[in-house]
Structure 1
Amino acid sequence: MRRNFIWLSLFFLALVIGVGIWRSADNREASQAEFLMGTYMEIRAFGRRAPTAVERCFVRLQEIEDRMTANSLDSEIATINQKAGQEAVTVSEDTFFVIEKALRYAELTGGKFDPTIQPVVKLWQIGTDEARVPAPAEIEAKLPLVDYRAVELDATQKTVYLPQAGMGLDLGGIAKGYAADEAGAILKAHGVKKALINLGGNIYVLGTNPNNESWKIGIQDPEEERNQYIAILAVQDATLVTSGPYERFLEVDDQVYHHILDPATGYPADTGLLSVTIVTTKSIDADALSTSVFALGREAGLELINSLAEVEAVIIDDEYRVFATAGIRQQLTITDPKYTLMP
């Protein structure tokens, strides 16, 4: 058995193309990188107050991880899961907001995005040294615990209650998006007008690059290991999040099992897609939507995206066809002839 998991930041190439050296007293560059929320994170910002802003961003990112990680017994999410079937848990404004947002996307997608998938995620453990293929009976036993409609929220008291023992929340499909938005807000509050935030492939850009041009972000080739991109997106003041089966996976007996699980079956979603990139203004939305569209499939996914304001998508299927929504097509350049941009 071979286990493979490489962080999204290595697969989704946040490629800043053609950025020269750009420094002055008022426009110095500050950058910082750390491993947080299970992935490699880097922020590059430009401006007089950029060093202070970037430092404060990472303090905030650590705070969000401490509250929302499912990998610590002390986090708010862990406490909610431990108290399932027992009592409601009071949480921070941060955690309540993200859970509330996750449940909205669960409803919007008919449960294809479901933050209560944690009991099944815990079975597979994809992305850890304990990754394995669960027995069908194990999955069947956990599926009744996956139901976003059962989560009880009290907006006044800021409490969260899971009514059945064994239920659990996993915010892995949305928390990094929230973190990127919070980092962006801190940079803006410090007067930073040019920045690139890369939270393990959750990309958030402010303004233009140091050459006063659009930031150029490469979309990773889903069939190559690293640093190979099939297209470039030129963006300003936007966020991009990509989901795909290549991000984290488990290979057993030549069968590949990726980490995007279908809440209805408990198995990896099989929709014929290789990659989904969402472009919008809020990273929390892009994060949830990239997973949602991958789980929905191309037709239902595009229908969802086209129903939403100021949201664009680039979808790659297993026939190497690229489908881009109307609002992003002019900013997309295909760089690999193996892939075809569909009309």
Structure 2
Amino acid sequence: MKKVLLSLLIFSFFLCGCQKTTPLSSKEFCLDTIVQITLYDSSSKNILNNCFDLCKKYELVFSSNNKKSELYQLNHSLHKLENQTISKELYQVIKQGLYYSELSNGAFDITIGSISSLWDFKNNTIPQDNLIKEHLQDVSYKNIVLEKNHLRFLNEQTMIDLGAIAKGYIADQIKDYLLKKNVSSALINLGGNILCVGQKQQQPFLIGVTNPQETNDSILSLNINDLSVVTSGTYQRYIETDSKKYHHILDPSTGYSYENGLSAVTIISKSSIQGDALSTVCFSLGKEKGMKLLNSLKDVSGCFIDENNQITYSKHFKKFLAN
């Protein structure tokens, strides 16, 4: 349901700043996007490779499209109305997804899967309206019963889509791994989910937020120390036909793209899973309700970019702006 970039030329963030030493960096296509990981205080290719191995491992847990993944098999099980044992990782992410679904009162809903699976943004295919309406009744986070390491559905047609939260969890796991390996300066970029490990050579990381109307440029720059920066935007995946644009942030009540005047929401937070979820939650709630939610949360900041490229900041966001 969210922010996947399929081109090497388009990123949700642009990384800038002079480098005093040559970093160790690599990028691969996985998690249905371009993943780039850069180590600034380690020359271990083994550590770097292990980070990508983690991406591949978790793709086989959280992907809703890979038939070999745990989530895919859960969604397509013949025993969905019965308790099914799930992995610790899948349990943790679904639990967080249900929390944010409830927090937004369903404006964000991880059971959008029966609708999001109808949309084919890669092949510019818009689903038939009758199919969308048919599956709207299957979308409700209240159809999920989660207990310890077990899950059961209350509706056989309900499907879970973790595209709006799983990459944040994966980024956090990569950071934890790097810290255990004594890497204290690194940049994790999971196709627009940015997680900074420590500082960049004793200076803040300089992160540029994409201009929604000029995606090869940034609209503002941020000084970031040991924090996550995640954006949900209408420019990341969309279909344009007959002068109408359908983006990938879907309204669970209609099955179509949200139309609330927003182009993007950027969240700065300590954990990437929180930023990942909140970027979609706040977009889904719209600027007024989303801003109210952000300002009620501790240690979280955000900005809203509307269709006219006007930027609105939460209470503490401006302290991150680079001069």
Give the TM-score normalised by structure 1: 0.88
Moved more, 47-56 or 63-72: 47-56
Q: 2:234 aligns with which of 242, 245, 248?
A: 245
1:178-209 superposed Cα distances (whole Å, 9 cap, x missing partner): 01000111111111111110000100001221
Give, in angstroms, the shift of residue 49 of structure 1: 6.1
The reply on whether 1:143 has 2:136 as its aligned counterpart is yes
Partner of 1:204: 195
Asked if 1 retains the 8 angstrom alpha-carbon contact of 2:206 and 2:224, the reply is: yes
Partner of 2:97: 102
Change (3 A) 1:233 1:9: farther
Q: Give the paired residue count.
A: 319
What is the SS of the residue equivalent to 2:276? helix
1:196-226 superposed Cα distances (whole Å, 9 cap, x missing partner): 100001000012213x2111111111012x4
Asked if 2 retains the 8 angstrom alpha-carbon contact of 1:46 and 1:195, the reply is: yes
Structure-1 separation of matches of 2:193 and 2:100? 18
Asked if 2 retains the 8 angstrom alpha-carbon contact of 1:278 and 1:312, the reply is: yes
Q: CA RMSD in A?
A: 1.8
Structure-2 separation of matches of 1:256 and 1:16? 28
Q: What residue identity is the alignment partner of 2:200?
A: N
Q: 2:304 aligns with which of 307, 315, 319?
A: 315
Partner of 2:28: 34
Q: 2:249 aligns with which of 243, 251, 260?
A: 260
The reply on whether 1:223 has 2:210 as its aligned counterpart is no
Give, in angstroms, the shift of residue 47 of structure 1: 2.4
Taking only the aligned residue pairs, the percentage that are identical comes to: 34
Change (3 A) 1:182 1:111: same
Structure-2 separation of matches of 1:18 and 1:82? 46
Partner of 1:296: 285
Asked if 1 retains the 8 angstrom alpha-carbon contact of 2:207 and 2:221, the reply is: yes
Asked if 2 retains the 8 angstrom alpha-carbon contact of 1:217 and 1:234, the reply is: yes
Q: 1:66 aligns with which of 45, 48, 60?
A: 60
Asked if 1 retains the 8 angstrom alpha-carbon contact of 2:14 and 2:210, the reply is: no
Change (3 A) 1:56 1:42: same
Asked if 1 retains the 8 angstrom alpha-carbon contact of 2:213 and 2:309, the reply is: no
Moved more, 304-313 or 49-58: 49-58
The reply on whether 1:134 has 2:132 as its aligned counterpart is no
Q: What residue identity is the alignment partner of 1:259?
A: H
What is the SS of the residue equivalent to 2:16? coil
Structure-2 separation of matches of 1:9 and 1:204? 19
Q: 2:319 aligns with which of 307, 327, 330?
A: 330
Asked if 2 retains the 8 angstrom alpha-carbon contact of 1:81 and 1:162, the reply is: no
Structure-2 separation of matches of 1:142 and 1:252? 23
Q: 2:50 aligns with which of 33, 52, 56?
A: 56
Asked if 1 retains the 8 angstrom alpha-carbon contact of 2:262 and 2:305, the reply is: yes
Partner of 1:175: 166
Structure-2 separation of matches of 1:209 and 1:253? 46
Moved more, 45-54 or 240-249: 45-54
Change (3 A) 1:137 1:250: same
Asked if 1 retains the 8 angstrom alpha-carbon contact of 2:12 and 2:191, the reply is: no
Asked if 1 retains the 8 angstrom alpha-carbon contact of 2:234 and 2:248, the reply is: yes
1:111-157 superposed Cα distances (whole Å, 9 cap, x missing partner): 1111100111112222x22x4223332211100100001101121xx
5+ long unaligned stretches in structure 1: 24-28, 335-343
What is the SS of the residue equivalent to 1:227? strand
Q: What residue identity is the alignment partner of 1:197?
A: I
Asked if 1 retains the 8 angstrom alpha-carbon contact of 2:6 and 2:33, the reply is: yes
Q: What residue identity is the alignment partner of 1:159?
A: H
